[in-house]
A and B are shown apart, each in its own frame.
Chain A
């Protein structure tokens, strides 16, 4: 019995250590500029021929070629981020009825003599476009009931199934 307690204590300490190790990698909650919340880095390119093209709002051939080669949607338009030197938004064209035709998708940033190409995290689009697309100010609700409607339908049916199983197991009468 004493041994079991010791093993349990050791396991709990091990689990705590694991959680601390995992939590180290989680960014500060609510900081929208940390990498996983804002963007996911894809690759880097040489700055020299590209930066001037990007400043003229032209999509460089090298950039779109590299993106398509890696299986990402091809960019359609470049826009300079106002008030920031050496940062650009790259848009893609979409063919969905009734929704925005183009979407802010890549983020290009000049770092030294390299251009860092990143893809915007879904959270960015979620926050920026949610109110406009659903006319609901609550970020959680439009996520729950609209963007992830299938998920919530499944959750509701899980609750329904739980209730029906409790009825079948505990209600020992002929009629329901």
Chain B
């Protein structure tokens, strides 16, 4: 029923189909590039979520949910926070209690103390990016889902 309602626009669909991979790649670039230039976890996560929003605008919600299911969404939204907090906890574990929480220098990624701090920062940015991406997508999906239900109810009432 939904497919009949939806107006198919070949131009929009083709452009979105081409753009989405590049938007996602750019989002990953922004997250990873946070240490060297402008960018970071928050911005990259929002850019990544905008790819899902664009998909929902051009196609339909059910297709977007099939590609990014609710279970994965829920897992990702807490995974980023766990990654962040876990990196902080690793600093305490590896220094056997000498370092403070979130003192990345004591995690032995490499032999250099200051290089460890840079790498720890990269992992933290990834955690932020995952959480922001999943939460933004989740909020958007929930809001649009409610609208669809209401419109269905209104149609039933009018019938």
Contact = CB atoms under 8 A, between A and B. Distances in A.
Contacts of A149: 88, 102, 124
A136 B35 contact: yes
Interface string A130-157: 0011111110111011100110110011
A117 B115 CA distance: 36
Contact of B117 (A135, A156, A164): A135
A150 B124 CA distance: 11
Nearest to A170: B142
B77 interface: yes
B38 A135 contact: no
Given A137-B36, A150-B102, A159 B121 contact: no
A65 B35 CA distance: 43
Interface size class of B (residues with CB under 8 A): 35 or more
Given A141-B34, A163-B135, A167-B138, A152 B128 contact: yes
B48 interface: no
Given A138-B34, A138-B36, A156 B131 contact: yes
B134 interface: yes
B81 A141 contact: no
B32 to A, nearest CB: 11
A146 B117 contact: yes
A48 B118 CA distance: 48
Contacts of A166: 138-139, 142-143
Contacts of B136: 163
Contact of B114 (A135, A140, A156, A163): A135
